[in-house]
Amino acid sequence: MKTLLFNDMQASVIGIGCMRIAEMEKSQLDTLVKTALDHDINFFDHADIYGGGKSEALFGELLQEEPSLRSRVILQSKCSIHNGMYDCSKDYILRSVDGILERLHTDYIDCLLLHRPDALLEPEEIAEAFDELKRSGKVCGFGVSNMNRYQIELISSALNQKLIVNQLQMSIAHCPAIDAGINVNTMKDEAVMREGGTLEFCRMNEMVVQTWSPLQKGFFGGVFIGDPEYAQLNEVLKELAEKHGCTEDAIAYAWLLRYPAKIQVITGTTKPQRIVNAAQAAEITLTREDWYRIYKASGKTLP
C-alpha cells in the first residue's frame, strides 16, 4: 500500500469514510475495520454529524473493547455543521472536539477538519481554538474541508499551525477543479474557476487533497459505475480493469491517485470486498494516455 506523510505518520492513500457506518452491527464494523487493516489501509475519516454522532460512537466501542487498535489507526474527524448552520466559533470547535473524543473513546484525534466554511468565521477565534487543542494534546493536526484557496489563506493568516488537509468532492465524473485547469483561456463553461485554483494551491503548499464521493456522478447523485449514462466510461474502465487484473472501481480510484498532488481517496463503502478493491488502486499507476482516455470517456472534451 502506498502511503503519504501525514502528521509525521505514514497514512494509506486510501482512507475509509465512516459516514454510513452508523447503521452497521458492531460485528460488521469490526470486520470492515479489520479488512482495511489487513490490506494496509489505516486511515478512518469521521465527522461529528455522521449518523448524529452514532458513527463515532460505534467506532469508539471497537476501540474501547480492543484498545490496541488505537495505535494501528489514524483517526480524523470534522466539525462546524450543526443546527442547520455552519459554526467555526471557538466555543463550538472546543465543545465539538470534546464530544468527538468521548464518542470515539480516545484521548486524541490525529486530525481535525473544519467541515464547511462558516461565512461568519473569525480566523483569530479558530486560531485560539486550535492552539488550545494542540496544547492540550487533544488534536495533533488540522485541516479544512470543502474550502477554496482564499478561505484557506484567510484562516491560515491567524494560525500557528499549518493546515495539512483540504477534503474536496472529486471523481472522474465530478472534477470541476481539474476541468477549470484544463480549459484555461477558453470560453467554455468548464473554464470558470469556481475553485479559484484550489488544487494548484494545495499542491504548492503540500496539503493533502482528500477526495470524497470518489465514485459519484454529482452531489450524492449516484455512482457512475454501471450507469448507462456513462456507458463509454464504463467500457474503458472495464478494459483497463482487465488489463491491470483489478475491478472497475479500483481503476476509478487509481485515476484520482494519478493526479500529481498528495491525493488521498476517501471511500465511503461499508462492504469489505469493496475495501479490498480499493486497496488494489494503490498499486496501479495509470499512464498519461490512459488517464486522459478515462477523462474524455466521461464526456469531457479537451480544448
273 is a domain residue: yes
How many helices, marked H, and strands, marked E, lie in the chain? 11, 12
Out of 50, 230, 253, 295, the active site residue is 50
Closest alpha carbon to 210 in 225, 223, 195, 199: 199
303 is a domain residue: no
155 is a domain residue: yes
Is 230 considered catalytic here? Answer: no
- Encode pLDDT of 184-213 as tens digits: 888 877 777 777 799 999 999 999 999 999
Chain position carrying cell 461499508:
270
Under DSSP, the state recorded for 303 is -
Chain position carrying cell 494509506:
12
| Over residues 228-253, mean pLDDT | 98
170 is a domain residue: yes
Q: Considering its fold, how many domains does the chain have in total?
A: 1
52 is a domain residue: yes
130 is a domain residue: yes
Measured between alpha carbons, how far is 66 from 16 in angstroms, rounded to an integer?
19
Confidence of residue 45 (pLDDT cuts 50, 70, 90): very high
The domain of 206 spans: 3-297
Q: What pLDDT sits at residue 186?
A: 87
CATH code (residue 267): 3.20.20.100
| Over residues 250-260, mean pLDDT | 98
H helical segments located in the chain: 26-38, 54-65, 90-104, 123-136, 149-156, 176-182, 198-204, 231-244, 248-258, 272-281, 288-297
197 is a domain residue: yes
Measured between alpha carbons, how far is 202 from 206 in angstroms, rounded to an integer?
6
Q: Residue 82 corresponds to which cell in the numbers above? A: 450543526
| Over residues 99-124, mean pLDDT | 98
Measured between alpha carbons, how far is 206 from 31 in angstroms, rounded to an integer?
34
Confidence of residue 64 (pLDDT cuts 50, 70, 90): very high
Q: What pLDDT sits at residue 262?
A: 96
Q: What pLDDT sits at residue 267?
A: 97
Q: What pLDDT sits at residue 120?
A: 98
244 is a domain residue: yes
